[in-house]
């Protein structure tokens, strides 16, 4: 089973940067999406951002993950 985690973009430097969730900051590769923007929520899987996510959905998922 694979899991992609919703995270917020906090730094962009070309195709790489950092995303953050619940105080955890991870390096991310943005090459699979176009025009990443600071502050937007994305799904991170194995170090790659694979999809954009609406903030409301990201918060809902993160709340569910905290309950596990």
Residue 57 pLDDT level (bands cut at 50, 70, 90) = very high
> Is the full-model pTM beyond 0.85?
yes
Residues 65 and 3: their CA atoms lie apart, in Å, by 11
The number of residues in the chain equals: 68
Q: Which CATH class is domain 5-66?
A: mainly beta
**23-36 pLDDT, tens digit each:** 999 999 999 999 99
Write down the domain spans for the chain: 5-66
């Amino acid at each position: 089973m694979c899991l992609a985690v919703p995270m917020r973009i906090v730094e962009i430097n070309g195709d790489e940067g950092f995303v953050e969730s619940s105080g955890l900051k991870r390096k991310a590769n943005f090459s699979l999406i176009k025009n990443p923007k600071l502050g937007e929520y994305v799904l991170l899987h194995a170090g790659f951002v694979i999809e954009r996510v609406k903030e409301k959905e990201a918060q809902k998922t993160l709340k569910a993950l905290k309950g596990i």
